[in-house]
A and B are shown apart, each in its own frame.
Chain A
């Protein structure tokens, strides 16, 4: 029942929230845009006037730019693959009736409550440390050389796409960060997928069973399509957060060993190089990249949420 009076009253009452959120978003955005066109070196003379598109060209022509994009994509895709695949498996396991179900579920969710900085420190010092870490102890127990989790050389892949092929080097540092971040995000994926598994009508599974579908085919033809929607939502939300991971890199490798992502590169430009103009231009690129990905994902989700 939207009368004219109730509509204008609604607008009036929503106004504070809208203005606050708009300000929250617009002020930093406009400041970033502003600084990206300035020569602004806080320790070397401060704001020195207009730079035109100089910062933009310098940011992309830097030798660190494309590797940072590649690292960002490798980390995001790696974490997505691990969390979706293992999240689905964990969800299916948690759906089984077991003794102590409540406690097991809480334990599974627990990593999500640990702050990124803390979990990265725990992983770095207690598990991945080449001398005192648990992994190195295990390696030595079996008589093997401890793995250099953060600084090791890693694996080279040659990726063949139908139009091009290129070499992809995933260092142990990148691999370790994927592992740490996956550990943090696995509970999220498992939890969302668990609710999706539970919402599946059991009669559908029984019908498939009567129709002669064995367990793996029931998973493939009934459960997985049912999870499709939840999986796209997991991918959408995680991508947005994973594009901006920072603490895990800062705490573990500090951007060394090819672990510099786009957001870490921006941090280095602004704080380590003390070049706010250049960093802001990078920030604008990051906004554009995030938006392109968001539009793609929204389309996929939109298609799935008919």
Chain B
């Protein structure tokens, strides 16, 4: 079980309200990702759920019971921190066993659980080492191990991959996803990286300035962003948001078209311009295009072998059925 419900939760630090009244339900077994730019309150929200910060007003319910005033240890949640927060003077085994020792479990039971967690996370080879002797990825695994031995009703991850290098990050991303499939436990994952959010989540919660902009599955957010903020935040490279005359033609204040929904044509496209920077990734090529007559620089994603370089003229055709329209408040039309 691991259903978490936030009811009209607010948080203020002094006079500054960082989270205005907020409602959110996280279903049992769901992998939920909180995503948003730095300082949007996503980590604060996670800490409120963990109990490391007191909520100012509102209620938090875990599995249907009020947990608002419960201390962190009594909420049955486990957290993986950004800095891993391993205890440096304890071996890996003692680190993982620590929550069980605090729960006064007997030693045989502790050993059994630690060994099981070590097996799941491939920690057996360095179980007697100190955290200082481990690499970033290994430390991350120990931190996850310390969380899973408690068999919590939900896991909380606070930007756990941001200290790892790019290659390791992709690997750990898969491992965490697989762990979720294996354990089938609720997980809440905070990140500023929309790629992590898209690849891992069952449900994404997009936050900006403490306000939930949109909640939905990754593809829902990709296909039907509720407003210009979500449209610009989800998807890589960013959606082209065009306002002004071009938008007015479509009866909207802003129109959005994703780089992958603009076709490069030989001649006679809707827009023509010159290539500024061409980023060749092999499988794809990203073109940044100037002088289209639009105020904004366009980004276009083309197949790998389009042979255009800096300064070349380019003809573009956006796919009309993939066009997103937004009104003057930035909200989606239709």
Contacts and interface: CB of A to CB of B under 8 A. Distances in A.
B72 A210 contact: yes
A222 B87 contact: yes
A207 B143 CA distance: 10
Given A209-B71, A210-B52, A211-B146, 15 more contacts: A203-B82, A203-B83, A204-B86, A204-B87, A206-B79, A209-B52, A210-B72, A210-B79, A210-B99, A211-B99, A213-B73, A217-B102, A221-B98, A222-B87, A225-B89
Nearest to A222: B87
B83 to A, nearest CB: 5
Taking residues whose C-beta sits less than 8 angstroms from the other chain, chain A's interface range is 10 to 19
A209 to B, nearest CB: 5
13 contacts: A201-B83, A204-B87, A206-B52, A206-B79, A206-B81, A207-B87, A208-B98, A210-B52, A211-B98, A211-B99, A212-B99, A217-B102, A221-B98
Contact of B87 (A206, A212, A221): A221
A189 B71 CA distance: 33
Contacts of A228: 89
Given A201-B83, A207-B79, A212 B89 contact: no
Contacts of A201: 83, 85
Nearest to B83: A203
A208 B81 CA distance: 11
Among all A-B residue pairs, the 4 with the closest Cβ atoms? A212-B73, A211-B99, A207-B85, A203-B85
Interface residues of B, number: 23
B78 interface: yes
A210 B156 CA distance: 11
A226 interface: yes
Contacts of B87: 204, 207-208, 221-222, 225
A217 B51 CA distance: 19
Nearest to B94: A221
Nearest to B149: A211
Contacts of A203: 81-83, 85
Nearest to B71: A209
B190 interface: no
Interface in A206-240: 206-213, 217, 221-222, 225-226, 228
Contacts of B108: none
B83 A210 contact: no
B253 interface: no
Contact of B102 (A206, A211, A225, A226): A211
B103 interface: yes
A213 B150 CA distance: 13
Contacts of A213: 73, 98, 102
A222 B102 CA distance: 13
Interface in B63-102: 71-73, 77-79, 81-83, 85-89, 98-99, 102
B144 interface: no
B97 to A, nearest CB: 10
A210 B98 contact: no
Contacts of A208: 87, 98
Contacts of A212: 73, 99, 102-103
Contacts of B86: 204
Contacts of B88: 226
B204 to A, nearest CB: 25
Nearest to B77: A210
A208 B52 CA distance: 11
Interface in A38-64: none
B73 to A, nearest CB: 4
Given A203-B82, A217-B102, A210 B89 contact: no
A225 B50 CA distance: 26
A226 B85 contact: no
Given A203-B82, A225-B89, A210 B102 contact: no
Contact of B72 (A209, A222, A225): A209
Contacts of B82: 203
B103 A210 contact: no
A136 B107 CA distance: 56
Contacts of A222: 87
A203 B50 CA distance: 13
A203 to B, nearest CB: 4
Contacts of B98: 208, 211, 213, 221
Nearest to A217: B102
Nearest to A213: B102
A227 to B, nearest CB: 11
Contacts of B73: 209-213
B89 A206 contact: no
A217 B86 CA distance: 16
A217 B50 CA distance: 20
A164 to B, nearest CB: 35
B81 to A, nearest CB: 5
B93 to A, nearest CB: 15
Contacts of A210: 50-52, 72-73, 77-79, 99
Nearest to A229: B89
A306 B139 CA distance: 19
Interface centre among A210, A217, A225 (most CB of B within 10 A): A210
Interface in B103-127: 103
Nearest to A207: B85
Nearest to B75: A210
Given A211-B73, A211-B146, A221-B98, A206 B85 contact: yes
